[in-house]
Every structure is written in structure tokens, then in C-alpha cells.
Amino acid sequence: MDGAERTIDFLVAAFGAEELRRFPADGGRLIHAEVRIDDTVIMLADAKADWPPARAHVHVYVPDVDAVYRRALEADATSVQEPLKDDDADKRGGVEDAGGTTWWIATKMA
């Protein structure tokens, strides 16, 4: 992942993530970082020669998909899909952050 610091900022703004650890390298790049969203820990780092950037899709359950989706857009994410209730028990939406990660945000509906 390239732009790990921007991704951390996005996760804090959109999901209310709590930063747990950060290990910077020379030049300000991140060797490793961890954030917590509710009971989930996400690990990330900046790319390097032997670990090039890779696109990812991450699925996260949150208490209020609509609120998180709006906060994600306010944090400069691009909409992939507005939250909607489909054929399963989830209401789900998707956004793409500035680093190219697609975040699928869902809330289990009763």
C-alpha cells in the first residue's frame, strides 16, 4: 500500500478508527501501522521494492452503514455503491479511498 498515512487519516475520519501502532522508516514512509475499527485490527504499510502496492477490497461491519458511508465521502472517498439492502441480511455500500482500496461497509439488518 502506498500512502499509508493518508489511509490512516481516512480510516480515522470515516470509521472512527483508533491508531494503535506506527513504525516509521527513514523518509517518513511507514514500515508497519495498525488501527482498530470496533473489534477489528487492520494492519497496513507503505509499499517497498519487495512489497509493491496491491489493490484490495475490505469488508467491514459497522453499527450504521449510512453514517459511515457519508463520513467516508466527506473524507474524500469515491462512491462505489450507495448503501442498499439486497437479498441478504446486510445493508451494504462501498467506497474507494485515495490509495485505491475499496471498502465495503455493511450493517446487519433485523
Q: What pTM does this model have?
A: 0.86
- Higher-pLDDT residue of 110 and 96 is 96
Give the tens place of pLDDT for each residue, 23-39: 998 888 899 999 999 88
Interatomic CA distance for residues 88 and 109, integer angstroms? 9
Give the tens place of pLDDT for each residue, 35-47: 999 889 999 999 8
Task: Return the CATH architecture of domain 4-108.
Answer: Roll (3.10)
